[in-house]
């Protein structure tokens, strides 16, 4: 398997960074608004766009004109191929494991491009994790929020054990105040992290463990790509942070996990599944939370217009 980080030269003057993966322009508007929202809420740390060979010239121009730093990364896939035709987005998800290899930084917090920062969350840069020297053998290898394994949309190809009883968030329904401050134990239920946000101390040794797992035939069994691998490889040895840092928009739905959701506590909303807010028209969103994105996107476009930037993204 090709080396994930052949050139560990930092592209920013900061030892701690946010990163987000971009492989095409379908998510570029989301990335630009994510970057704007981080800056809006005063983050002290830069967002670095991790781009693959498939990212086109017009995408590069859009990043460059806005001064968003970027780094080329390899497109990662397991040695054994798996059919993700029911969920093609998972082909791209393997590359979200790259931050574990970015040893030019002390701390990387990987974000999905379909996220929107609603409140400052720079404290994630201070979250206590195992030092790289432990080589992935400790009990705090990385930080993440749990995946919601309720399958609220009743997708038929999801695993049969993806039911509310196995969901870590269900276990917090009776303690909503605590749910704003702490996650359920990482070993609860199916013990799967959501790959949308990962707090990582990059380490060549940890990345080697990940790469070895990707080279194994067992990777064929991972229905949810990167997050399935991490949940299996580091079972019970990751730090479960509260939902507010990766607030999956479906948690807000009545009958899913509305019991713990609080609009005024969410720091980062994750617009999982389709449609994405930018695929709709303002005021005609599939749900109320999409309007939050449109409001911030409009602020971004206004600010860019004043800087003479108007490229359709």
Q: Sort strands 142-144 and 197-200 into parallel, antiparallel or unpaired.
A: antiparallel
Q: Residue 251 pLDDT more than 70?
A: yes
The model carries a pTM of: 0.93
| More reliable by pLDDT, 93 or 214 | 214
Domains of the chain: 16-306 (3.90.550.10)
Span 199-203, average pLDDT: 97
State residue 88's pLDDT score.
Answer: 45
Q: At what angle do helices 204-215 and 225-233 cross, to 10 degrees?
A: 110
Task: Tell me what percent of the residues of the chain surpass a pLDDT of 70.
Answer: 90
pLDDT tens track for 14-35: 999 999 999 999 999 999 999 9
Taking the C-alpha atoms of residue 229 and residue 225, their distance in angstroms, rounded to an integer, is: 6
Tokens for 90?
Answer: 């998972």
- Number of CB atoms found within 10 A of residue 14's CB: 17
Q: Residue 99 pLDDT more than 60?
A: yes
State residue 80's pLDDT score.
Answer: 53
Q: Residue 64 pLDDT more than 70?
A: yes
């Amino acid at each position: 398997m090709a080396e994930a980080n052949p050139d560990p030269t930092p592209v920013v003057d900061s030892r701690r960074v946010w990163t987000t993966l971009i492989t095409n322009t379908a998510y570029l508007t989301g990335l630009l608004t994510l970057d704007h929202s981080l800056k809006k809420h005063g983050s002290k740390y830069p967002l670095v766009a991790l781009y693959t060979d498939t990212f086109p010239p017009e995408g590069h121009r859009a990043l460059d004109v806005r001064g968003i730093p970027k780094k080329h990364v390899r497109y990662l896939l397991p040695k054994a191929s798996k059919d993700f035709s029911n969920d093609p987005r998972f082909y791209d998800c393997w590359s979200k494991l790259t931050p574990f290899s970015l040893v030019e930084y002390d701390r990387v917090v990987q974000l999905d491009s379909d996220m929107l920062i609603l409140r400052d969350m720079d404290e994630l840069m201070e979250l206590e994790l195992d030092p790289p020297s432990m080589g992935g053998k400790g009990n705090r290898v990385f930080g993440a929020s749990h995946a919601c394994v309720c399958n609220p949309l009743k997708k038929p190809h999801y695993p049969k054990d993806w039911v509310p009883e196995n969901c870590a968030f269900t276990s917090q329904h009776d303690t909503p105040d605590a749910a704003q401050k702490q996650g359920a134990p990482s070993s609860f239920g199916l013990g799967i992290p959501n790959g949308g946000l990962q707090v990582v101390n990059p380490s060549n040794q940890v990345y080697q463990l990940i790469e070895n797992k990707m080279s194994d035939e067992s990777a064929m069994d991972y229905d949810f790509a990167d997050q399935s691998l991490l949940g299996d490889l580091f079972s019970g040895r990751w730090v479960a942070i509260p939902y507010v840092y990766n607030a999956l928009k479906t948690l807000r739905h009545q009958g899913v996990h509305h019991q713990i959701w609080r609009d005024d506590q969410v720091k980062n909303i994750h617009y999982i599944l389709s449609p994405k807010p930018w695929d709709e028209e303002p005021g005609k969103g599939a749900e109320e939370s999409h309007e939050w994105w449109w409001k911030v996107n409009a602020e971004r476009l206004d600010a860019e217009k004043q800087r003479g930037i108007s490229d359709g993204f």
